Homo-oligomer: A and B are copies of this chain.
Amino acid sequence: MTDKLNLLLCSSSTVHPLGYLEYCKDDIAEFFSSCEDIIFISYARPGGVSLENYSSVAKGGFKNAGLEIRGIEEFDNPLEAITNCDGIFTGGGNTFLLLKSLYENGLIDPIKQRVNEGLRYMGTSAGSNVAGPSIKTTNDMPIVYPPSFEAFSFVPFNINPHYLDPDPHSTHKGETRETRINEYHHQNDNIVVGLREGSILKIENKNITLIGEKTLRVFVKGREAKEYDNNSNINFLLD
């Protein structure tokens, strides 16, 4: 990990009952205040929406934060967009489709390099998931086969967005989220954070802070999961 990171990793784009990006619009406005050329990565295509339509939605959300943003699909050469921009926002949707598209467009290494040098990067849901070492803790359906599950590795921990506590009244026999993350730890070693809807992780240099009212659930392999609130020092996550 470099000591130049500037990341805003949001669990979700929308929190009930607010509109798209409304719950975090002040955070966005502050995070990107010095930026003039922000690129939206639309590849995750929630619900199968077109890249153009997804970018329109993102533009509306950024407009509410007083910012302009351009969709990566507007560029003949997406690599050029990444080389010249001063900020990136990667939207949610299907994580497998997002990662596959990033590989197909040759953008994994270029984005990784620029963000590690300090380029501001914001993600929601799938866009936050790819900030970790792999997408192995996504909740999404594997509708396409990416050439690898390895992602940007900006941070050393894996993210589980939309983290949900088990419903004590459920009789459903599908696995709970916590069971799934424990299965992950039978096969993998790094920390997983369960980011509840409305929670944001902000990383500046070597400091990480939790924004939002909900606590962060941290899964360290071989230990009981622990909760941290927005007053906790959670810098150990970056070690």
Instruction: Please give the residue numbers on chain A whose beta carbons come within 8 Å of chain B beta carbons, in ascending order.
Output: 12-17, 45-48, 93-94, 96-97, 135-145, 148-149, 162, 164, 171-175, 179-188, 197
| Cross-chain contact B148 with A145 (CB below 8 angstroms) | yes
Give 8 pairs: A residue, B residue, CB < 8 Å, sorted on A: A48-B182, A48-B183, A93-B183, A136-B141, A137-B143, A142-B149, A143-B183, A145-B148
The DSSP consensus for interface residues of chain A is loop
Sorted from nearest, which 7 A-B pairs have the closest CB atoms? Answer: A48-B186, A16-B171, A162-B174, A141-B180, A143-B184, A145-B149, A143-B187
Contacts of A143 in B (CB 8 A): 136-137, 180, 183-184, 186-188
Copies of this chain, tallied across the complex: 2
Decide if B175 touches A45 in the complex (CB within 8 Å). no
Shortest Cβ gap from A108 to chain B (Å) = 15
Query: Roughly how many angstroms separate A179 CA and B182 CA in the complex, as a whole number?
Result: 26
Pick the residue among B97, B136, B172, B183 that contacts A47 (CB under 8 A). B183
* Interchain nearest-CB distance for A134 vs B (Å): 8
- Return the contact of A97 from the options B96, B173, B187 (Cβ within 8 A): B187
